[in-house]
């Protein structure tokens, strides 16, 4: 509506900043990713097929949980899993989807990321699961993504990409950095395994339980072994 003041300006900017940061870090492919952010009883998502560098706060689409939206831009075609995740996970306010290449390479094989490194716990559990393939943009895709994310803040999507969750879009990018690192690390260890016949050592459930307990006690500090400490 002409002259109408744009609502949720800060949240709209946070979405654009996160989308640009994701691409600047090489963690996505072109315009293929998307970002969602809860605002009260509604949520904001990136528009369909628009270049992140050209995007302005007015281009971000405000949606209701019944799937309807306001404004002239069409929401990302993947709005269904943004809606369903935000509806099912009240502790999470932001959802980010990317086609990050190492996550997607594992997902092409339908492989989850096992506990190759204790930082797998940053996603909330002892593995990062891979949801089975479903046609992009469909409700069926959302329906397999939700169980893959149960108790987790990240999952892979077979032959597609990944989803990460967080309190803010920026926190989602932080977690995507970790998950993509873990995916690349796992691929490299598999390559060494292929060359030497030695399988990577996967951390046991007990060892990962200790890390998960440690991370919980440190709240928002994701990395007890960071090089900064």
Catalytic positions, written as ranges: 78
- The b-or-e profile of 173-209 (16+ CB within 10 A means b, else e) is bbbbbbbbbbbbbbbebbeeeeeeeeeeebbeeeebe
Residue 75 or 161: the one with the smaller Cβ distance to Zn ion is 161
In degrees and rounded to multiples of 5, residue 197 shows phi and psi of 80, 0
Residue 13 or 99: the one with the smaller Cβ distance to Zn ion is 99
Whole-number Å distance between alpha carbons of 33 and 169? 12
Helix axis angle, 139-148 to 79-88, nearest 10°: 40
Tell the smallest beta-carbon distance from residue 169 to Zn ion (Å): 16
Tell the smallest beta-carbon distance from residue 104 to Zn ion (Å): 9
Sheet (strand 34-39) strand order: 61-63, 42-45, 34-39, 94-98, 161-166, 154-157, 130-131
Q: Which residue is nearest to Zn ion (CB)?
A: 161
The site for Zn ion (CB under 5 A) is made up of 161
Residue 36 or 161: the one with the smaller Cβ distance to Zn ion is 161
Tell the smallest beta-carbon distance from residue 136 to Zn ion (Å): 6
Whole-number Å distance between alpha carbons of 143 and 36? 17
Query: Contact, 120 vs 128, CB < 8 A?
Result: yes
Q: Which residue has the tokens 């980010």?
A: 96
- The SS3 assignment for 34 reads strand
Whole-number Å distance between alpha carbons of 89 and 81? 12
Residue 137 or 189: the one with the smaller Cβ distance to Zn ion is 137
Residue 84 or 208: the one with the smaller Cβ distance to Zn ion is 84
Tell the smallest beta-carbon distance from residue 49 to Zn ion (Å): 12
Structure tokens at 8: 């949720």
Tell the smallest beta-carbon distance from residue 157 to Zn ion (Å): 7
């Amino acid at each position: 509506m002409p002259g109408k003041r744009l609502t949720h300006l800060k949240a709209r900017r946070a979405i654009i900043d996160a989308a640009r940061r994701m691409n600047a870090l090489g963690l996505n492919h072109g315009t293929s990713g998307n970002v969602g952010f809860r605002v009260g009883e509604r949520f904001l998502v990136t528009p369909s097929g628009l270049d992140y560098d050209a995007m302005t706060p007015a281009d971000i689409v405000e949606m209701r949980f019944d799937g309807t939206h306001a404004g002239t831009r069409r929401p990302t075609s993947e709005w269904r899993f943004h809606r369903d995740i935000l509806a099912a996970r009240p502790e999470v306010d932001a959802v980010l989807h990317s086609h990050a290449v190492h996550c997607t390479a594992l997902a092409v094989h339908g492989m989850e990321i096992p506990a190759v490194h204790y930082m797998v716990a940053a996603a909330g559990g002892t593995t990062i699961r891979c949801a089975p393939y479903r046609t992009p943009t469909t409700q069926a895709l959302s329906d397999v993504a939700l169980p893959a994310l149960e108790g987790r803040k990240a999952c892979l999507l077979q032959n597609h990409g990944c989803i990460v969750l967080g309190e803010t879009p920026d926190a989602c990018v932080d977690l995507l950095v970790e998950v993509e690192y873990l995916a690349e690390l796992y691929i490299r260890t598999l390559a060494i395994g292929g060359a030497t016949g030695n399988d990577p050592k996967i951390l046991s459930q007990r060892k990962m339980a200790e890390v998960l307990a440690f991370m919980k006690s440190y709240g928002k500090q994701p990395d007890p072994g960071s090089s900064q400490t």
